[in-house]
Chain A
Amino acid sequence: METPRDDQLAADLKALRPTPRPEFTAELDERAAAGFPRRSRLPRLSFGPLRTFPPRRLALAGGAFALFAIVVASTLVVANQGGSEPQSNLALLEPKPEPATPSPEPPDKAAAAGSAGAPQESSGVQYEAEIPLADSEASSAAGFAGGAASATAAPELDSPSRVHRRAVERSAEIVLAAEPGDVGEDSSEVFEVVHAHDGIVMSSSSREGKPGRAGARFELLLPSDDLGDSLAALSEIDEVRSRHEATTDITAPTVDTAELLRDSNARIDSLLAQLEAAETEGEREAVEAELRQERRHRARLRGSLQQLEHRASYSRVLLLIETGAKEESGTGGGTWGVDDALGDAGQILAVAAAVTVVGLAILGPVALIALLAWLTHRAWVRRERRRVLS
């Protein structure tokens, strides 16, 4: 037999082409006309409606769903925040937490304070209970006489060995409702009440205008031992729209500072004794240097203690006089403006970002593992397919 030419070989190969059975082609044509219904033996989850969507539309739908989930979660978080901790102006009045180390004072003042020498400290700190300290000297050294103490609460033990009195800082917020024409008169009465109760007006502002715009704002310091009467007097000026009171226990920083002050006084006494006994000039100079440093330290402690006393002796009161319909009292004088809107928007965005980050932190690793598994499976399948024909 002759070797086939190229065209002959091609013709022979085409002649050898497998052809399907007519029955098979007829059956396949029917299935094609029916849209190739599945012939799987096992029932499968029906994703028919999803399959009709192109992948891009599915991605868009998924993105929209994720966005919706973030919005819902953010709304829930913001709502919970608003419900659990209603924003109050009292927070604005509260001083910053007392630092563990007292703030420094000018050296000249410290020296002047140190020169007094005697460990007698004035105190107007409010104590709800007066309990003897385990160390009797501590009580006298710190001067916890509590002259203006309210001393209303029962004794309370901080620890088995050490017992202290509680120092409490108070603050309050009163919102009065007034007619626009009464704002000036009400403001005058506020001053009268404050002066009558030996209080201090730290700041005040008033605004005239239409209902909702006119109003006044007062930041007051009122003696804590007379706070109840003061608030009652302020409440009688006009209709009380809202009233809040809050307390902060500052016993711990007060006691700590007092104990440090007592130690400092003892140290100064000791140094004075050493100075008296010093025989040489060198010894005297060294003791004097140490004495100066310790007196500065004592001055700082004394200043801190005075600050704490002041916080306990005087209560911060925010008084707002509003006009018009009732609104949430805020820093902007009770009206919800552009600043508030921007603030709310920022808060919502921050929460949304946090929710997104948390969601990604959860879904990211899972998606990464799934992606790696899919890629590994795909590579394995490809390798196996190549191996079949190799």
Chain B
Amino acid sequence: MDSDSSRSKGMEQALVAEAKDAPRAGDLAFDRLYRSSRDDVYAYVASLLRDAPAAEEVTAAAFERAYRKRHRFDPERGEPRAWLFGIARNAALDELRRRGRQAELTAEPEDLHARAFDEATEHSERRLAVSAALERLEPGERELIALKFFAGLENLEIAQVLGIGESNAGTRLHRAMTKLREACDGDA
């Protein structure tokens, strides 16, 4: 995973650098960024919204917004994936804000992971417990875990998405994982 991520990151940086040279190269770079991040963005947005149709809508809107702003991307200010997930995060939060779903974040979620649950429950009762524990985390903690394990971002990228320091992101992630493990213990 890590090696794939670093290889992908290097490729994206090179492609984004190309984007400065020619519009066509920029489109190509964005296309590669899209293909390497499409499912990750969806997974992250879905974990925030906990609503599959809304997640699809927001994912499409986020890519559309990123495509329109692709010329504004500055490699000196962060990684391409961090930039893309920042846009997706804002789109998701705007959607939550628009729909007044703050209360729902702490309520019982829709059966978003139904398919995953079906498979998980078939293979492991433990995964069901992890899923339940995940739902009991704070929204911010759940977002951190989503960025790390659903979107596959590095701590540096997570820090850039959230606008915090890298060490701070690592600390928060560690706390969230500890809390998740404790929640699993409670279920056990």
A interface residues, Cβ below 8 angstroms from B: 1-4, 6, 8-10, 12-21, 24-25, 28-29, 31-32, 35-36, 38-39, 51-52, 54-55, 381, 384-385, 387-390
Given A388-B93, A388-B97, A388-B101, 6 new contacts (CB under 8 A): A3-B184, A15-B120, A17-B43, A20-B39, A39-B64, A385-B94
The answer, yes or no, to whether B158 is at the interface (CB within 8 Å) is no
Are A55 and B71 in contact (CB-based, < 8 A)? Answer: yes
Which residues of chain A are near B181, meaning CB under 8 Å?
Answer: 3-4, 9
Instruction: State which of B38, B101, B127, B140 has its C-beta within 8 Å of the C-beta of A16.
Output: B127
Are B112 and A18 in contact (CB-based, < 8 A)? Answer: yes
Q: Specify the chain B residue showing the minimal Cβ separation from A14.
A: B149
A54 to B72, CA, bound (A): 8
* Known contacts A25-B38, A388-B97; A52/B126 CB under 8 A: no
Which residues of chain B are near A14, meaning CB under 8 Å?
Answer: 149-150
Instruction: State which of B52, B68, B145, B188 has its C-beta within 8 Å of the C-beta of A51.
Output: B68
Nearest first, the 9 closest Cβ-Cβ pairs linking A and B are A18-B46, A13-B149, A385-B93, A36-B64, A20-B42, A36-B67, A12-B130, A1-B188, A17-B150
Q: Give the interface residue-count category, chain B.
A: 35 or more
21 A-B pairs whose Cβ atoms sit less than 8 Å apart in the complex? A1-B126, A2-B126, A2-B188, A4-B130, A6-B177, A17-B149, A18-B52, A19-B116, A32-B63, A36-B64, A36-B67, A51-B68, A52-B23, A384-B97, A385-B90, A385-B93, A388-B97, A388-B101, A388-B139, A389-B93, A389-B105
A244 to B6, CA, bound (A): 87
* Known contacts A4-B181, A13-B134, A18-B116; A387/B63 CB under 8 A: no
Q: Specify the chain B residue showing the minimal Cβ separation from A54.
A: B71
A1 to B186, CA, bound (A): 10
Of the candidates A6, A31, A36, A381, the one having the most CB atoms from chain B within 10 angstroms of its own CB is A36
Are B34 and A15 in contact (CB-based, < 8 A)? Answer: no
CB distance from B42 to the nearest CB of A (A): 4
A18 to B142, CA, bound (A): 13
Give chain B's interface secondary structure class: helix
Which residues of chain A are near B42, meaning CB under 8 Å?
Answer: 18-20, 24
* Known contacts A12-B127, A15-B127, A25-B38; A3/B116 CB under 8 A: no
Q: Specify the chain B residue showing the minimal Cβ separation from A25.
A: B38
Which residues of chain B are near A10, meaning CB under 8 Å?
Answer: 149
Q: Specify the chain B residue showing the minimal Cβ separation from A24.
A: B56
Are B139 and A3 in contact (CB-based, < 8 A)? Answer: no
B interface residues, Cβ below 8 angstroms from A: 23, 27, 31, 34-35, 38-39, 42-43, 46-47, 52, 55-56, 59-60, 63-64, 67-68, 71-72, 90, 93-94, 96-97, 101-102, 105, 112-113, 115-116, 119-120, 124-127, 129-131, 134, 139-140, 143, 145, 149-150, 177, 180-181, 184-185, 187-188
CB distance from A248 to the nearest CB of B (A): 65
Which residues of chain A are near B150, meaning CB under 8 Å?
Answer: 13-14, 17-18
Instruction: State which of B47, B93, B127 has its C-beta within 8 Å of the C-beta of A18.
Output: B47
A51 to B70, CA, bound (A): 10
Which residues of chain B are near A19, meaning CB under 8 Å?
Answer: 39, 42-43, 115-116
Instruction: State which of B34, B112, B113 has its C-beta within 8 Å of the C-beta of A32.
Output: B34
Q: Specify the chain A residue showing the minimal Cβ separation from B94.
A: A385
Which residues of chain B are near A32, meaning CB under 8 Å?
Answer: 31, 34-35, 63, 67
Q: Specify the chain A residue showing the minimal Cβ separation from B141.
A: A389
Are A1 and B129 in contact (CB-based, < 8 A)? Answer: yes
Q: Specify the chain A residue showing the minimal Cβ separation from B69.
A: A51
A32 to B140, CA, bound (A): 30
A101 to B27, CA, bound (A): 80
* Known contacts A24-B56, A36-B64, A55-B71; A4/B126 CB under 8 A: yes
Which residues of chain B are near A35, meaning CB under 8 Å?
Answer: 27, 67
Q: Specify the chain A residue showing the minimal Cβ separation from B64.
A: A36
A39 to B150, CA, bound (A): 27
Which residues of chain B are near A381, meaning CB under 8 Å?
Answer: 94
Q: Specify the chain A residue showing the minimal Cβ separation from B40.
A: A17
Are A385 and B188 in contact (CB-based, < 8 A)? Answer: no
A9 to B174, CA, bound (A): 13
A385 to B140, CA, bound (A): 12
A52 to B43, CA, bound (A): 31
Which residues of chain A are near B188, meaning CB under 8 Å?
Answer: 1-3
Which residues of chain B are near A54, meaning CB under 8 Å?
Answer: 71
Which residues of chain B are near A17, meaning CB under 8 Å?
Answer: 43, 116, 149-150
* Known contacts A28-B38, A385-B94, A390-B140; A16/B131 CB under 8 A: yes
* Known contacts A3-B184, A9-B184; A15/B116 CB under 8 A: yes
Are B185 and A3 in contact (CB-based, < 8 A)? Answer: yes
